[in-house]
Structure 1
Amino acid sequence: MAVLFILATLLLVVVVWNRFFRKRDSGIPAGLKPLPGPKGLPIIGSVHEVPEKLGWIKFADWGKQYGPIYQVDLAGSNHVWISSDEIARDLLSKKAAIYSDRPHIPALMDDNRTSGQYLPLMSKNELWTRQRKFANHIMRKSEAADFYKYPELESIRMLKELMDEPEKYNHALESYVSRVTCRLAWGHSEGSDELKQRARELLIGVSPTGALGNKLPFIMALPDWLSPAKAWERKRARTERKWFEIMQNQVKEDIVTDPSKPSWTKLFLDAPKACNFADEVEGSYAVGMHGIAGALTIAAPMQAFCLAMCHYPQYLPMLQEELDRVCPDRLPTNADKPNLPFLRACIREVMRWRPPVPTGIPHFLTEDDEYNGYFIPKGSVMHPLEWSISRDPETFPDPEAFNPLRWLEPKYPTYREPLTQYPTIINMTQFGYGRRTCQGQTVTESDLVAGIGSIAWAFDIAKDSRRERIRKAMQNEKATVSEEELITGLSEHSSDDESGMPRTPIGEFPVPHPDEIREEYEKKLQRKREAEKQKERDEDETLIFSTLLIAKPLPFKFSLTLRDEKRGEKIQSLFDEKNSNGDYIESRNYWGENNGEGKEFGWVKV
């Protein structure tokens, strides 16, 4: 109890300091007004109003209430949410000089802004500049080599795993992405399971709803024995560095025995002076971070594609018709991309419909600014809210529906020509704004074309019929209260005028003012509507997502069956050929029994 009391006291001190001392000079200049937003409570702001699940939808709802740019106080920190692509570009791109920093992530052992470990999370500094230059170099080189055909190679193994164990589709899709990324980073695929674990652990560390240190930053100043979260992070960071060094040393050995094997690490080791890194450790992180970033994000759209095909089955036959026409007796490749506009439309629509980073990656404002008469204080965390940006009804009519045709038919605002190039995910808002745009866009598209294209070529996808019957039966058993019933039973007041305004009850004093009655009625009606909306979201199978920064559909049951035996035979033949050539090596355990549990290096619990 004493420890809990001390922790609670420290938390209170930190929040009070944030609120009253850090913000003591944040007066609003004359002629400007504060951004709108929820009022919140003293000390904690609006923390209690943000749900752990689907928090991005709450921020989108606030955008509809307060406007396309508004602010939220979260425990003394000012967060600005942008629901408009135009405003995001005006601020984050056109004013990139002051909007390109990143906020501090307290749960990480080393300061993400200056450690040189994670390029996407670094502030603008010398480390960021040279690592970004290196990233451009390795992406251009590997893109020119068609990413060494790694996506096509690993798509065969993915199909074989889906064919043998379709219920383990999540593992197969994530392994596909991780194996491709491992090959690109280090020339080997056997580190794929370790890369997935590195990605999972880091994702927890950087997510606002993940590591405890992001919710209670002061615990990172405590000793490890008093702060299990800090001890967890210390082992995570220690193991990550050790593994990056192991992988880099493996590439050094490959250069001697097999100098033709390409990888991003080899590009660095072949010309280390050109990269201008401080040492080889920085080089190992510059490569490893891209490996983790790929493993974190690219599988999410593939999983969302399966989800979309279950709920919008009319589009799968259209996609399969295109694939059968372009590559009837073989798997699709990235060389087929110009002739597969419907496949590209499905990929583009999946990333719009269920964006893998629905809150966007936050920016950090380094100077006071103003926008359309509103004051934006220095130190604000800026969020380009992708969930809202991708749902602008003027740009995306009927935005909640999955509809790849919006990219292919001239009647839609999103249509572009030529169809040999468009639609494409390159430069879409999900990849960021201004100087913080993701540099892995081309490899993402390459992975998705080969991965999703191969799945649609080989398999039929459908909802699990038994699950559907149960869901419908449960829905039929649930009674729904109508709005009329709600209005009737809002209070003990009766209602008999045309406006629906409750009459003042007779014999009760003092008599409530009509405005007070209306306000009470409207609050109750609003709460009822919000409860109904939340219930609808809870029952929406397409919104059952993870709660971390990268939003992935949680595993769900569906039918994944081969379209015909001939395709299965083709997959088996290709797999056997590649396997006999030694292309498919099993994953490696780097830390011994139980993956290093209780040891200096190894996996931590996720």
Structure 2
Amino acid sequence: MALLTLLFVGTLVGVYAVWKYIEASRRHRIPTGLKTLPGPKGYPIIGSIPDVPEKNAFVKFADWSKEYGPIYQVNLAGHNHVWISSDQVAKDLLAKKGAIYSDRPHIPALIDDNRTSAQYLPLLSKNDGWARQRKFANAIMRDSEKALFHRYPEVEAKRMLVELLDEPDRYNHALESFISRVTCRLAWGHSDASDELKQRARELLIGVSPTGALGNKLPFLMSLPDWLFPAKAWERRRAATERRFFEIMQSEVEADVRDKKAAPSWMKLFLENRTKWGFKYELEGAYAVGMHGIAGALTIAAPMQTFCLAMCFYPQFLPMLQEELDRVCGDRPPVSEDRPNLPFLRAVVRECLRWRPPVPTGIPHMLTQDDEYNGYHIPKGSVMHPLEWAIARDPTMFPDPEAFNPSRWVEPGYPTYQEPLTQYPTIINCSQFGYGRRTCQGQTVADEDLFIGIGSIAWLFDISRTAKDTSSPTSEPDVVVDPENVEHQTIFLNEKATISSEELNAGVEPVEPRLEDIILSKYNYPGSFPTTGEDQPQFIEKPKAETKLPETIDPTLDFSTLLIAKPLPFKFDLLPRAGERAAKARSLFNEGLEKGDYTGSRKFWGENQGIHSPLGWGKV
């Protein structure tokens, strides 16, 4: 039976590959007078797939841009991908010609078509759903910004600092929890669903990443029945769980609004103006709010992790940042009103996004009709990538681009210097947030979170490479947690440390299991439904062999492999600058605790997060 299944799947792969090759050859006929874009030749049928590494593929694409120019094309299994490594070329095409360059490519691993389902605004094609949800997004972002984001980043920064004081080795956990809690409050007014929000973000990230779900690598497999392709069953359960989660959150805010106790949130704003946005299906508002929550939880923590990495390898800039914070803020962490007076903090934030962009390949666009650029033909259906890794390394704009150097934003003489310093530098409208009609609308939220989060960490802590291990970043040290005694060891902590935790800890053999490992060990392999008994198949992963970066590779380039690229956890020292400052941080947190600012996280799917239920967490 297994052999027949393999033969069947192999035949399908062959037929699919030949069909894609014939289709691509027919579609890519070059009009008279135009040239084909340059690019690697590749191999028959599969194109250049063997030449693209799964880890840090953005570096390979940037290297190709040095060989083929600022715009070139790559055939990846019959799909034409166009890579843009110039900010000007990206603006010429994706912004100035936004009418034909603003669509999104199909993501085959998702059960519902991302282009038309009106579930995920950043992934929608340019249609009516996209237009009405974008209008709604503009309104909720303006409302949040006007209210200084309801002080949610400042409130949660105090909890984050205490977590870092108590468990500095779990810095990844604290930073991602900070972002998740702030985003959860903005979306629904409270933070107790932040664990669930992180899990929804983890699972969706797998579903949309080219290197994540198998359905994105071999799309034809999504036409198979669930029992024959377990990854499809995993995605179906993910989508159903996500829908139910959004439904629960909306109904709870509805109840709070009726009882006149709803905290400020995007959902509250939607419910108070429910008919204004013209949403077309019952839960479109729930998805519009929830998607912004997921988008925030996915991306904003990555630059905070980059900050820790940068301070270890470029320690000369931390004293400069701390001097500015001490001069402006004194014995308290930064607040929103300090922004005009903290240009170097803003420079550090801006440089984190440039040096290690969280989406280094850029969010892809899709061309809806044939086009030409500087004598080159760009065929309809091409997937357009504004390659942020290369754009952020243009040596004419960023001298010595591989170096982390926030001074490039605040010292006259650098091409990136702008005045007034009360406004610049800023991450608003930087290329990492996209181009043209697909520019990210949540950039003001990201700006506030990073300003408060990174500023608070630098205000309290010294950061340095661990003396006993100064070779290269390695995986985060294991923290032994007793799953039966969690409440006594944590202060309303999230259960799961990181987005894509297994990927981030690849190659690590823990001596003692952590709480997150204990929880996730009870789940099945991605792609399967939870087992319901001993007669169900079990999928056991082989122990991962320990892997180390070759000595010739930059140790600051040990990144995760999904669409959101994050520095893998590494060992470093995170020590309070002074005892009285640590005491101040604890005092501020305790004041909030007494006022009821902080609540614990809750489970939505029962025991073990729904392991034996139709809805619940899937293994990531």
Q: Same fold, TM exceeding 0.5? A: yes
Q: Are 1:540 and 2:554 an aligned pair?
A: yes
The question of whether the paired residues in 2 share the 8 Å contact of 1:361 and 1:384 is answered with: yes
Q: Are 1:567 and 2:581 an aligned pair?
A: yes
CA distance in 2, matches of 1:74, 1:538: 28
Deviation, 1:593, is 1.2
- Quick one: structure 1 residues 588 and 292, their matched pair in 2 at CA, closer, same or farther if it must change by over 3 Å? same
- Which residue of structure 2 lines up, in the alignment, with residue 104 of structure 1? 106
Q: Are 1:361 and 2:363 an aligned pair?
A: yes
- Which residue of structure 1 lines up, in the alignment, with residue 274 of structure 2? 272
- Which residue of structure 1 lines up, in the alignment, with residue 338 of structure 2? 336
Deviations 1:560-598 (A, max 9, x none): 000001111111111111111111101111011111113
SS in 1 for 2:360: coil
Deviation, 1:22, is 5.0
Alignment of 1:426-441 (within 5 A): 426-441=428-443
- Which residue of structure 1 lines up, in the alignment, with residue 506 of structure 2? none
- Which residue of structure 1 lines up, in the alignment, with residue 309 of structure 2? 307
CA distance in 2, matches of 1:566, 1:8: 66
The question of whether the paired residues in 1 share the 8 Å contact of 2:312 and 2:463 is answered with: yes
SS in 2 for 1:277: coil
Deviation, 1:25, is 4.0
Deviation, 1:540, is 2.0
Match of 1:555 among 563, 569, 576: 569
- Which residue of structure 2 lines up, in the alignment, with residue 191 of structure 1? 193
- Which residue of structure 1 lines up, in the alignment, with residue 63 of structure 2? 61
Deviations 1:8-45 (A, max 9, x none): 21122122212213541431111101001000000100
- Quick one: structure 1 residues 458 and 17, their matched pair in 2 at CA, closer, same or farther if it must change by over 3 Å? same
- Which residue of structure 1 lines up, in the alignment, with residue 619 of structure 2? 605
The amino acid across from 1:112 in the alignment is N
The amino acid across from 2:168 in the alignment is P
CA distance in 2, matches of 1:280, 1:459: 47
- Which residue of structure 2 lines up, in the alignment, with residue 130 of structure 1? 132
Runs of 4+ in 1 over 3 A off after TM superposition: 534-539
The question of whether the paired residues in 1 share the 8 Å contact of 2:318 and 2:458 is answered with: yes
Deviation, 1:599, is 1.1
The question of whether the paired residues in 2 share the 8 Å contact of 1:365 and 1:378 is answered with: yes
- Which residue of structure 2 lines up, in the alignment, with residue 589 of structure 1? 603
CA distance in 1, matches of 2:141, 2:403: 34
SS in 1 for 2:28: coil
Match of 1:212 among 207, 211, 214: 214
The question of whether the paired residues in 1 share the 8 Å contact of 2:253 and 2:262 is answered with: no
Match of 2:144 among 142, 145, 164: 142
- Which residue of structure 2 lines up, in the alignment, with residue 283 of structure 1? 285
The answer for unaligned runs of 5 or more in structure 1 is 472-533
SS in 2 for 1:559: strand
CA distance in 1, matches of 2:587, 2:552: 44
CA distance in 2, matches of 1:392, 1:81: 15
The amino acid across from 1:380 in the alignment is S
The question of whether the paired residues in 1 share the 8 Å contact of 2:549 and 2:558 is answered with: no
Alignment of 1:57-96 (within 5 A): 57-96=59-98
SS in 2 for 1:272: coil
Alignment coverage as a number of residue pairs: 544
- Quick one: structure 1 residues 9 and 396, their matched pair in 2 at CA, closer, same or farther if it must change by over 3 Å? same
SS in 2 for 1:274: coil
CA distance in 1, matches of 2:601, 2:27: 55
Determine which structure has the larger helix proportion and give its number: 1
CA distance in 2, matches of 1:397, 1:148: 39
Deviation, 1:256, is 2.1
The amino acid across from 1:158 in the alignment is M
The question of whether the paired residues in 2 share the 8 Å contact of 1:537 and 1:543 is answered with: no
The question of whether the paired residues in 2 share the 8 Å contact of 1:16 and 1:76 is answered with: no
Deviation, 1:279, is 3.2
CA distance in 1, matches of 2:407, 2:24: 50
CA distance in 2, matches of 1:537, 1:244: 46
CA distance in 2, matches of 1:374, 1:172: 48
- Which residue of structure 1 lines up, in the alignment, with residue 374 of structure 2? 372
- Which residue of structure 2 lines up, in the alignment, with residue 484 of structure 1? none
Deviation, 1:260, is 5.1
Q: Percent identity?
A: 69
Deviation, 1:469, is 6.2
Deviations 1:47-103 (A, max 9, x none): 010001000000000000111100000000000000000100000000000000000
- Which residue of structure 1 lines up, in the alignment, with residue 116 of structure 2? 114
- Which residue of structure 2 lines up, in the alignment, with residue 476 of structure 1? none
Alignment of 1:507-546 (within 5 A): 539-546=553-560
SS in 2 for 1:430: helix
* More displaced stretch, 16-25 vs 261-270: 16-25
The answer for unaligned runs of 5 or more in structure 2 is 474-547
- Quick one: structure 1 residues 469 and 389, their matched pair in 2 at CA, closer, same or farther if it must change by over 3 Å? closer
CA distance in 2, matches of 1:216, 1:20: 17
- Quick one: structure 1 residues 383 and 470, their matched pair in 2 at CA, closer, same or farther if it must change by over 3 Å? closer
- Which residue of structure 2 lines up, in the alignment, with residue 507 of structure 1? none
CA distance in 2, matches of 1:535, 1:187: 43
CA distance in 2, matches of 1:449, 1:436: 24
What TM-score comes out, normalization by structure 1 length? 0.88
SS in 2 for 1:460: strand
CA distance in 2, matches of 1:71, 1:157: 47
When the two chains are superposed, the root-mean-square deviation of aligned CA atoms in Å is: 1.3
Larger Rg: 1
Q: Are 1:261 and 2:263 an aligned pair?
A: yes
Match of 1:463 among 443, 462, 465: 465
SS in 2 for 1:81: strand
- Which residue of structure 2 lines up, in the alignment, with residue 5 of structure 1? 7
Deviations 1:226-269 (A, max 9, x none): 00100010000000000000000110111122345111001111
